[in-house]
Amino acid sequence: MENKKIRMSLVFTIAFLFIGLCIIPMSSGVPVKKNIGVLGNPLGNVLYVGGNGSGNYSTIQEAIDDAINGDTVFVFDDSSPYQENIRINKQISVIGENKDTTVINGISGQDHAVRISAKNAEISGFTISGTADGQDGILVYPLMEDCIISNNKVEDSSYGIYLQATSTKITIIDNIISNNEFEGILLQESDRNIISGNTITENGDFGISLEAVSKQNDILDNTVENNFGGIQLAGSSSQNTISGNNVINNEREGILIEGVLTTTNEITGNNVTGNNAGMKVSNGGKNIISSNNFKDNTIEGLYFMFSNENIIEMNNFIGNRRNARYVASFRNTWDSNYWDDWIGLKFDIPFFKMFPKSIRGVSFRAYDMNPQEEPYNI
């Protein structure tokens, strides 16, 4: 009897294990669906503007007013242009159907065309136009963070995109910013933001300007062309990175660094071509300028004025009227750059290749002790 009970227990145990092994693979093969809303907020709803759907909103602001954190406001282009000034004051995404055909025209005398006054907000997929009478295309209010401005055309405004004081961790990516009265993108006292992959052209001041102690920002892989100036760091803006940008055909400097405490910035891997001056550093120090192309600039490739302890290494200086010069600038390190006017290239004689490259300054000269015979592939 006892043996029979044991056998029955073993049968039930084996059956239970067999069923479990069958169920586990079946359930693991079924995908788990998650309704992830805007910027990681769960369970967001979609509110529609324009189009033919019943219950769709007629203005963008009406939909924003009815939205709650985590929602998406999707804007159809068939009711475009939208003549309104919108205020994004919630953690939502406002998405246009097509950036070329979904248009927001700010109304003169009212607020900025788009004002962001919430954290974790997003705007994408629009043509945004202010009125250039003090009205910006997109204004990000102070103390905002973790917002995304992407895939828009921002034009015909006062400032294209303006980040006010202490905005942080704002991503400005893949926008076309053109024909604005002043800067295409302006940051003031704003840290740890990313400006990447934008095309910035035909603006009345600098394409990108960081001012008033803006720190630790990344300016990456942008095209900055045909503006009054290219990229500016000013007003004690430090520890910023300018890398991989095409800075071409700007009326003034391609890159300008100015200000006594505008220091410890890294300028690497940029193509700085066809500007009035390729790059100017005025009263700035301890910057690293490495692996850039300074080419065909009208006045000079690189100019230092009252700027000390900078490192200039592994750059190409080609076809500039003057490749480099400086005034009252001391303890700068020039090393391993390619100079198309180096005497070692003019005469194919080993003796001349022993000479350093002389860099002309006021009252004395500096030297690159390791000039390169071939340009870098940058």
Percent of the chain having pLDDT more than 90? Answer: 78
* Residue 367 CB-half CA count within 13 A: 6
pLDDT tens for 308-361 read 999 999 999 999 999 999 999 999 999 999 999 998 777 777 777 778 999 988
Which residue has 């406002």 as its token pair?
A: 94
Whether residue 55 lies inside any domain: the answer is: no
CA distance linking residue 217 with residue 239, whole number of Å? 8
Q: How far, CA to CA in Å, does 361 sit from each of 24, 79, 323, 325? A: 76, 61, 12, 5
Per-residue DSSP letters for 88-141?
E-SS-EEEES-TTT-EEEPPTTSS-SEEE-STT-EEES-EEE--SSS--SEEEP
Whether residue 42 lies inside any domain: the answer is: no
Supply the pLDDT for residue 19: 35
Q: Quick one: average pLDDT of 8-18?
A: 38
CA distance linking residue 149 with residue 190, whole number of Å? 15
Buried/exposed 150-165: b ≥16 CB within 10 Å, e otherwise: bbbbbbbbbbbbbbbe
Whether residue 332 lies inside any domain: the answer is: yes
Whether residue 220 lies inside any domain: the answer is: yes
Whether residue 159 lies inside any domain: the answer is: no
Between these two residues, 16 and 151, which has the higher pLDDT value? Answer: 151
pTM of the model: 0.87
For the domain that residue 359 is a member of, what is the CATH number? 2.160.20.10
Which residue has 């282009």 as its token pair?
A: 77
Whether residue 257 lies inside any domain: the answer is: yes
CA distance linking residue 183 with residue 206, whole number of Å? 5
- 26: helix, strand or coil: helix
Long-range contacts of 365-371 (CB under 8 A, 24+ apart): 366/326, 366/332, 366/334, 367/334, 368/334, 368/335, 368/336, 368/337, 368/339, 369/334, 369/335, 370/335, 370/336, 371/336, 371/337, 371/338, 371/339, 371/342, 371/344
| Residue 28 CB partners (closer than 8 Å, separation 6+) | none
pLDDT tens for 128-161 read 998 767 899 999 999 999 999 999 999 999 999 9
CA distance linking residue 284 with residue 357, whole number of Å? 24
Between these two residues, 301 and 130, which has the higher pLDDT value? Answer: 301
Domain span at 233:
182-368
Whether residue 186 lies inside any domain: the answer is: yes
Which ranges constitute the DSSP H helices of the chain? Answer: 2-28, 60-66, 343-346
Whether residue 276 lies inside any domain: the answer is: yes
Q: Quick one: average pLDDT of 252-269?
A: 96
CA distance linking residue 183 with residue 252, whole number of Å? 13
Give strand pairing partners of 227.
none
pLDDT tens for 202-237 read 999 999 999 999 999 999 999 999 999 999 999 999
**How many domains, in total, are found in the chain?**
1
| Residue 4 CB partners (closer than 8 Å, separation 6+) | none
Percent of the chain having pLDDT more than 70? Answer: 88
pLDDT at 179 exceeding the cut of 70: yes
Q: Quick one: average pLDDT of 53-59?
A: 94
